[in-house]
Structure 1
Amino acid sequence: MPLHFSEEELAERRARTCRLLADNGLDGLLMFRQESMYYLTGYDTFGYCFAQCLYLGADGRNVLLTRAPDLRQAQHTSTIEDIRVWVDHPEAAPFRELRAILEEAGCAGRRLGVEYEAYGLTAANGKRLDAALDGFCSLTDASDLVTRLRAVKSPQEIAYARRAAELADAAWQAALDTAGPGAFEGDILAAMHGAIFSGGGDDPGNEFIIGSGPQALLCRYHTGRRHLDPQDQLTLEWAGTYRHYHAAMMRTLPIGEPLPLHREMHAVARDALLAVEERLKPGNTFGEAFDAHGAVMDAAGYAAHRLNACGYSLGTTFAPTWMDWPMLYHGNPAVFVPGMVVFCHMIIFNSEAGVAMTLGRTNLVTEGGAEPLSKSGLDLEHR
């Protein structure tokens, strides 16, 4: 069974979750976040795009309800022993089957937490869930219960994050080796992904961001590839991913001689990044770290060109995103704790001038402050 954590560590995670359930007056948890299932049992799949639920009782019992393609997936990748399969047919009603499972587990009249904020629970299925359990038990939103546990990493998780950062560095070097005047964006992406896959890495939680020319001012993936001009700019955001743990990086790479504005914006982005990382200390808040970003950007005259968030926690996440809780934005009261892994990205998009600059890397929060997991330098590279 290809577990990536010891059975003892997984059992301790479930025990902590059960203690939290009891502390919150809950008799069980209905999980729809694939991240929670992986974190507590090792279960690894993309089958969460269909109706699927992992029940964890406050007594430690867990039962997975899923489809036939994921029966063996759960048997081979997780510690789950009780796996129930719902059958596809026109009148399929998996949440009525879930109710029967919960009745068997003694949940009638009990109070259960639900991960409503989950990509594995569509709005339509959420309504079906509520309807199936109406009058049977009491449901309350417990979307963040396991998520908050996952924010602080164990030593084994940190080791996976470090390996992910090594793969991110390898991908950046592959991009530098491939980029240049006339280079095709598709070849750059292929080289970056190849470096990660050949290093034993995984698909990331979302697509890599790549854009050149005017599209260098975009910070979302988009389809369509172009060849780089002799004088150009290339924005990349990517993540090394290992055992589903992510270490993200972000860079804007001038092609040809950098414009004076590229150099100016890079200096501002670097100062802002270092200011944010200085705040990544136990006891400080995510909001305070964001404010350090804003202070540097605004003092340099870039208030109109920055974003309203400058990073987020990373960990084991599944499609459609590698972003995790909590996020770096003004007023966020979440506190840094040793063992958190945080991606800080400085993004400056000057639409009037058509010039982009980004700079970002992933840090581990330690007792002494931020430890950059990437070994790549922060100097402005160009090709």
Structure 2
Amino acid sequence: MDYRDEVYFNSQPENEAPFTAEEFADRLTRLRRRMADAKIDMLYLMAPESMYYLSGYQNEWYQAQSPKQWPAASAIAVHVDHDHYILFDSEREAVLGRIFTRSVDTRYFPRNALRGSADFVAQELKREGWLNGTVGMEFWSYRPNRVISHQLEDAFVSAGARVVDGTHLLREQRWVKSPAEIACLKEAARIANIGMAAARETIGAGVSELDVYGEMVRAMARAGGENPGITMPVLSGTKTNALHGMSTRRKMQHGELVLVDLAGVFKRYHINMARTFSIGEPSAEVRELTSRIAHSMDLIRSILRPNLPVRDFNSTVMDYFQKEGLWERRGWVGGYEMGIAFPPDWVGNFVYDPLSDINADRVFEPGTAVNYENQFFMPAHQGQYFTIDSFLFEESAAHMLSEQPFELIVIE
């Protein structure tokens, strides 16, 4: 054994698994029940969120755009009849796995095989008897890429399995959070509020977008926050008409709107919030419009409750903006699930929108969390007024998680 192997396989760093063994065991048990109901015998998971949810696995590098020689490798196989998963990984991540997971069965790709070898995976799973039935893969995940996904599917089929899309199983399970996950969401909200307060203190004429970005990231990191799944935009002036723009060295000007969209992150659980600022007192028209839009949040606060039907929420919001004559100014009104996320996204699986019937017949049940976005265009192409809050639904109450006011915030 060379010294590299000595380190990889004998180094014993402090374990930093984000949850207890009991929490992870419960998640696995519930997933196996879902698999049985769906008649899926084995699930092969490569989405970072899926691997984290079941094991705590987290990595800075997931081989999303890597050279052909370094394809995506790490994965978790779950069988409906077994109370442990198999973690596949490169030996280079052996120490990482012992830091972040509680895996009791990790298999490393051999050095004489391509990292991420589908043949090795199929060989190991066939030996265990895990490829005798229906195998689910995450067809809706970006990871692995098309080539590796096809290689794995072909290898599973050649070994005698039937392959189907199993993306929905774990995504649907993650919709309702456990008490441990709810605690993470509340801590993420605390961190997000610290970040927004830091942005508010930094914004001003002559300050660059990146200055504000840096200060809010530093404040959240000091509060225990982690790297979010999306690069958080700080946008100024007419640039706020492009909500997914990137912060740059552009300096803010007096009289401009400034948009800050961020997420607090704790144990990879995200809580999203956004606010719009004005450097100096805005025009009377902008002030009047933004005040009417902000008032919608008071209405929402009055109807929030556990098990609120999504359709009722959507119709309440849409009716308000139509009666106020604001509906035609909207960019988008709606929201999506908050929870586990890794780059390049923090948008969860559950989406709701007043103009869509998707999820409209469901309810915001206890244990769920979503964000809600108001996007409205201001006169003369000045930019957008943009606010986001996140809602957490528990057994006895529903909570708005932000502390900053919803009205346009004026920076003198």
TM-score range, shorter chain: over 0.9
> Could you tell me whether the CA contact under 8 Å between 1:31 and 1:54 is conserved in 2?
yes
The residue number in structure 2 matching 1:56 is 78
The residue number in structure 2 matching 1:79 is 102
Give 4+ residue runs of structure 1 displaced > 6 Å after superposition. none
Residue deviations 1:40-97, cap 9 Å, x none?
1111114433233210111223112222332221121101122222357896561121
Q: Report the TM-score when normalising by structure 2.
A: 0.87
CA RMSD of aligned residues (A): 2.1
Once the two structures are TM-superposed, the CA of residue 160 in structure 1 deviates from its matched residue by: 1.4
- Structure 1 Cα separation of the partners of residues 265 and 222 of structure 2: 12
Residue deviations 1:191-221, cap 9 Å, x none?
1001100111100011101110111122113
> Could you tell me whether the CA contact under 8 Å between 1:247 and 1:343 is conserved in 2?
yes
Residue deviations 1:97-130, cap 9 Å, x none?
1111220220233111212211322222222222
Question: 1:308/1:101 Cα in 2 relative to 1: closer, same or farther (>3 Å)?
Answer: farther
Q: From 245, 259, 270, give the equivalent of 2:269.
A: 245
Give yes or no for the alignment of 1:357 onto 2:385: yes
The residue number in structure 1 matching 2:205 is 181
Q: From 118, 121, 126, give the equivalent of 1:95.
A: 118
- Structure 2 Cα separation of the partners of residues 108 and 164 of structure 1: 40
Give yes or no for the alignment of 1:210 onto 2:238: no
Give yes or no for the alignment of 1:111 onto 2:134: yes
Between 268-277 and 146-155, report the one with greater CA deviation.
268-277
Q: Secondary structure at the match of 1:250?
A: strand
The residue number in structure 2 matching 1:156 is 180
> Could you tell me whether the CA contact under 8 Å between 2:233 and 2:247 is conserved in 1?
no
Q: Secondary structure at the match of 1:48?
A: coil
Question: 1:89/1:184 Cα in 2 relative to 1: closer, same or farther (>3 Å)?
Answer: farther
Q: Secondary structure at the match of 1:236?
A: strand
Greater Rg over alpha carbons, structure: 2
Between 329-338 and 201-210, report the one with greater CA deviation.
329-338
Once the two structures are TM-superposed, the CA of residue 246 in structure 1 deviates from its matched residue by: 1.0
Once the two structures are TM-superposed, the CA of residue 367 in structure 1 deviates from its matched residue by: 3.5
Q: From 311, 334, 358, give the equivalent of 1:332.
A: 358
Which structure 2 residues correspond to residues 285-300 of structure 1 after superposition, within 5 A?
Answer: 285-300=309-324
> Could you tell me whether the CA contact under 8 Å between 2:73 and 2:116 is conserved in 1?
no
Q: From 263, 278, 288, give the equivalent of 1:264.
A: 288
- Structure 1 Cα separation of the partners of residues 62 and 304 of structure 2: 34
Once the two structures are TM-superposed, the CA of residue 277 in structure 1 deviates from its matched residue by: 4.8
Between 194-203 and 92-101, report the one with greater CA deviation.
92-101
> Could you tell me whether the CA contact under 8 Å between 1:55 and 1:62 is conserved in 2?
yes
Between 312-321 and 360-369, report the one with greater CA deviation.
360-369
Question: 1:279/1:86 Cα in 2 relative to 1: closer, same or farther (>3 Å)?
Answer: farther
The residue number in structure 2 matching 1:126 is 149
Once the two structures are TM-superposed, the CA of residue 310 in structure 1 deviates from its matched residue by: 1.6
- Structure 2 Cα separation of the partners of residues 154 and 370 of structure 1: 16
> Could you tell me whether the CA contact under 8 Å between 2:89 and 2:116 is conserved in 1?
no
- Structure 2 Cα separation of the partners of residues 265 and 310 of structure 1: 19
Q: From 352, 355, 371, give the equivalent of 1:343.
A: 371
The residue number in structure 1 matching 2:3 is none
- Structure 2 Cα separation of the partners of residues 250 and 108 of structure 1: 47
- Structure 1 Cα separation of the partners of residues 49 and 248 of structure 2: 31
Q: Report the TM-score when normalising by structure 1.
A: 0.93
Q: Secondary structure at the match of 1:341?
A: strand
- Structure 1 Cα separation of the partners of residues 332 and 237 of structure 2: 24
> Could you tell me whether the CA contact under 8 Å between 1:362 and 1:374 is conserved in 2?
yes
- Structure 2 Cα separation of the partners of residues 92 and 57 of structure 1: 23
The residue number in structure 2 matching 1:14 is 28
| Structure 1 residues not aligned, in runs of 5+ | none
Once the two structures are TM-superposed, the CA of residue 335 in structure 1 deviates from its matched residue by: 2.4
- Structure 1 Cα separation of the partners of residues 314 and 243 of structure 2: 18
Give yes or no for the alignment of 1:144 onto 2:172: no
Once the two structures are TM-superposed, the CA of residue 18 in structure 1 deviates from its matched residue by: 1.0
Question: 1:93/1:33 Cα in 2 relative to 1: closer, same or farther (>3 Å)?
Answer: closer
- Which amino acid is 1:130 matched to? E
- Structure 2 Cα separation of the partners of residues 146 and 93 of structure 1: 22
- Structure 2 Cα separation of the partners of residues 275 and 72 of structure 1: 51
- Structure 2 Cα separation of the partners of residues 179 and 197 of structure 1: 19
> Could you tell me whether the CA contact under 8 Å between 1:32 and 1:119 is conserved in 2?
no
The residue number in structure 2 matching 1:3 is 17
Matched-pair identity in %: 25
- Structure 2 Cα separation of the partners of residues 274 and 98 of structure 1: 54
The residue number in structure 1 matching 2:56 is 42
| Alignment coverage as a number of residue pairs | 383
Question: 1:259/1:23 Cα in 2 relative to 1: closer, same or farther (>3 Å)?
Answer: same
- Structure 2 Cα separation of the partners of residues 68 and 262 of structure 1: 58
